[in-house]
Amino acid sequence: MNSGSNTAASVEFPGVSEDLFIDKISPASEREQSEPTGVNIQAFLEKKYDIMGFQDGYSYHNLEMLNNQVKTIKAEFRLQLDLVIDQRRRTLLDLRTHSIEVEGLSERMGRQIEAVEKDFSAMIDRLEKEKDLSVCDEGWVMRPVNNYRYGFLRGVERYNEERLIAGCTGLFN
C-alpha cells in the first residue's frame, strides 16, 4: 500500500462523473449564449453600400438588379430592427420582473427601474417607427439605400464608358 497517495481530493469513484458535481459553465456564459449575436444597427447602417452598389452596377447593370437589392437592404434593415426590438422587450420584461421583486423594499430603486423602463419603451417605440418609415422610403434606412443607388449608377456608368471606349477602338471586338 502506498502511504499518502490516496488523499480525499484524488479519490475516484467508478461510474461517477465529475460533471455531476462540477458545473464548468459560468452563469454569464449561459446568458451570453442566449443573446442573439450579430445585431448591430449602427454597423448595418455604416456598411459601404456605395461600393457594393458600384460592383453590382458594373457587373449586372440592369434596373431589376437595383430594385431587388434595394428591397433586400430594406428587408435586412427591418430584420435587424426586429432583433433589437426583441432584445429590448426581453430586457424590459426583466426590468418589470425586477421592479416587482424590489417593490416595497426600496422606493428609490423602484423609481430608478421605472425610469429605465420608460427609456426602453421609448427606444422600442422609436425602432418600431423606423420600421414603418423604411416601408415608405424614409428614415434611417434611406442613407444605405441612397448610397447603394448612387454606387450602382456609378457602376453602370463606368461599365458603359468602358464598353463605349472598347467598342470605338476595336481592341475588344
10 Å CB burial of residue 78 (0-12, 13-18, 19+) is middle
All residues at 6 or more sequence positions from 171 whose CB lies less than 8 Å from its CB, including other chains = none
Chain segment 88-129, per-residue pLDDT in tens: 999 999 988 888 887 878 788 888 888 999 999 999 999 999
Q: What is the largest CA-CA distance in the chain?
A: 97
Q: Where are the domains of the chain?
A: 50-169
**Ramachandran bin of 15, using left for φ above 0, alpha for ψ from -120 to 50, beta for the remaining angles:** left
pLDDT at residue 121 in the model: 93
Looking up cell 435587424 gives 80
Low-confidence ranges of the chain (pLDDT < 70): 1-38, 168-173
18-46 burial, b for 16+ CB within 10 Å, e for fewer? eeeeeeeeeeeeeeeeeeeeebebeebee
pTM (2 decimals)?
0.70
